[in-house]
Amino acid sequence: DVKVTQSSRYLVKRTGEKVFLECVQDMDHENMFWYRQDPGLGLRLIYFSYDVKMKEKGDIPEGYSVSREKKERFSLILESASTNQTSMYLCASSLAAARSSYEQYFGPGTRLTVT
């Protein structure tokens, strides 16, 4: 079974702090994604990566950056956390399209609260 793990289920940070959310997948997937989910807005893509050291902006990248130094690990960074970044953050991974990426596999999510 594919496993996507996220470093924390719940996280509380203060405004202005630098926040790291870590995601690890164990199935040698090329693609990794970060989404945030908010009530009434659904899931929105923040960033994705299709290879090590490669990244592309999603729909709402402002206030976030990412890092992918190893294939299995994709980090989301909030350089200076703000209260409007309080949300559920979901990581996902998938095979590259050339290898038939029909499925994205999601982690359990990290509920981040910024106070």
Q: Using the minimum distance from each CB to another protein, give the nearer residue, 18 or 44.
A: 44
CB of 57 vs another protein, minimal distance in Å:
11
CB of 90 vs another protein, minimal distance in Å:
5
Q: Answer for the pair 64, 77: CB distance below 8 angstroms, yes or no.
A: yes
Which residues of the shown chain bind another protein in the complex (CB under 8 A)?
4, 31, 33, 35, 42-45, 48, 50, 56, 58, 90, 92, 94, 96-97, 101-109
**C-alpha–C-alpha distance, residues 51 and 49, integer Å:** 6
**C-alpha–C-alpha distance, residues 67 and 77, integer Å:** 8
Q: Using the minimum distance from each CB to another protein, give the nearer residue, 51 or 79.
A: 51
**C-alpha–C-alpha distance, residues 113 and 56, integer Å:** 25
CB of 98 vs another protein, minimal distance in Å:
10
| Amino acid occupying residue 1 | D
